[in-house]
Amino acid sequence: MNSTNFTPALGRPEMTGAYDLAIRLLTREKTWRAALLEQLAPCSDDVILDVGCGTGTFALLIKEAVPSARVVGLDPDPEVLKIAAAKAGAAGIEIEWRQAFAHDADRYGVLFTKAVSSLVFHQVPMEEKRRGIAAMIGAVRSGGEVHVADYARQRSTLMRALFGLVQRLDGYENTEPNARGALEAILADFEPDSARPRGVVCTPTGEISLFRLKVAPA
Ligand SMILES: C[S@@+](CC[C@H](N)C(=O)[O-])C[C@H]1O[C@@H](n2cnc3c(N)ncnc32)[C@H](O)[C@@H]1O
């Protein structure tokens, strides 16, 4: 995977500017982001890594909820990072932005109390799903947590059909394994209990599932 080899936020680079609007209209965004924030439960002394942060919406929500938490947003796409930085600047919120892949998450050292990722792993190759989650776990201190919200197994015919729109945008090869349960299988390999969704939000583009993995204390 090189520096240009990734699927952009909305599937094609020329659509990145429409990402925030599309997510608002097509994913019941307020519902799943609120559920993810509640699950993440940020605290004042947290150091949180947002992997595949995109246009920074969730990183900003964390900081708005707990201004004293330190938040680092990571994404391989410089275009989304520009949008994210502009949004944070306009809101007067300080977030550190890094251009990197999910599999780079542990290259900053074991710095973080929590790592989170939203709507990223459905659009990365199989090897990167596994390496990315491993790196998120590797970036978190013992006793910390990894949180993932994403299109995972699509459990009904209706949700499976609606997920077709995401597949048309992001491509079949990377998205199909998620629809068939690949994310749950990868999480189970790291920690069996983490593969059970802690919440599921049905949306006009398929089910978004929320997972939590606890990193064992040393
Ligand atoms: C659908 S967007 C989600 C953005 C954001 N997390 C959110 O909740 O709105 C997916 C993001 O993953 C990023 N991405 C693609 N491949 C990646 C990889 N291998 N590692 C980390 N991020 C990646 C894209 O650049 C894009 O910003």
Residue 167: domain span = 13-214
Domain presence at residue 167? yes
Domain presence at residue 184? yes
Phi-psi region of 157 (alpha: psi -120 to 50; beta: other; left: phi over 0): alpha
Domain presence at residue 199? yes
**Structure confidence at residue 166 (pLDDT):** 97
pLDDT by 10-residue block (mean), the chain, 218 residues: 77 96 98 98 98 98 98 98 98 98 92 97 98 97 97 98 97 98 98 97 98 91
User: Taking CB atoms and a 6 Å cutoff, what residues make up the pocket around ligand 1?
Assistant: 6-9, 23, 51-54, 57-58, 75-77, 80, 101-102, 118-120, 123-124, 128, 132
Domain presence at residue 77? yes
Question: What are the phi and psi torsion angles at 191 (to 5°)?
Answer: -160, 105
Q: How far apart are CA 49 and CA 133, in angstroms?
A: 12
Q: How many CA atoms lie within 13 A of 152 on its CB side?
A: 25
User: Is the pTM above the cut of 0.95?
Assistant: yes
Helix (H) or strand (E) holding 142: strand 140-151
CATH number of the domain where residue 173 is located: 3.40.50.150
